[in-house]
Amino acid sequence: MSAIYTVLASLLVALNTLAGALLMLPFALIKFLLPIKAVRALCDHALNSIATGWVSVNGAWINAINRTRWRVSGLEGLNTKSWYLVISNHQSWVDILVLQTILNRRAPFLKFFIKHELIYVPVIGLVWWALDFPFMKRGGAATVQQDLENARKAC
């Protein structure tokens, strides 16, 4: 039974990600082609709304497949109009889904620092770029200044 759940969960996350990316594509292209502040702001709002919906669907299938009981504290004072720095001891890709599910609609859409090479991942690399995820080269002394500037801009 476990293998069936694994296949089903993988299929659901893949289909949800593809659907979200397809919805984001027009806004990402407009954002890329028209780098005007007002246009970017409208595109960013649409992109973050779609991404929030994507996280909501992921949360729904996580709860449907895996009846985990969450015990989380400290969410009471959060709101979507403030910004937060979330630090996690990242162990696997599941950490990202869990953090997004727990903080969805309680805090702004989470943005993760990502290895620069991941921008080339088909479909999702474009989504990360469109959502303004900061890409880090992490190449030692030669790229430290650029990585710091990317981090400052993202924050």
**Per-residue pLDDT tens for 14-71?**
999 999 999 999 999 999 999 999 999 999 999 999 999 999 998 888 887 777 788 8
Looking at the fold, whether 116 and 90 belong to one and the same domain comes out as no
**pLDDT in the model for residue 92:** 80
**pLDDT in the model for residue 1:** 55
Return the closest-CA partner of residue 33 out of 21, 46, 43.
43
Q: What percent of the chain shows pLDDT beyond 90?
A: 46
- Interhelix angle for 37-65 vs 93-103, to 10°? 100
Looking at the fold, whether 15 and 86 belong to one and the same domain comes out as yes
Return the closest-CA partner of residue 117 out of 105, 106, 108, 125.
125
Looking at the fold, whether 103 and 150 belong to one and the same domain comes out as no
Looking at the fold, whether 36 and 8 belong to one and the same domain comes out as yes
- Give the whole-angstrom CA distance, residue 105 versus residue 31: 24
Looking at the fold, whether 58 and 96 belong to one and the same domain comes out as yes
Return the closest-CA partner of residue 98 out of 134, 68, 64.
68
**pLDDT in the model for residue 29:** 94
- Domain count of the chain? 2
Q: What is the dihedral of CA 11, 129, 131, 57, to 10 degrees?
A: 0
Residue pair 135/126 in contact by the 8 Å Cβ criterion: no
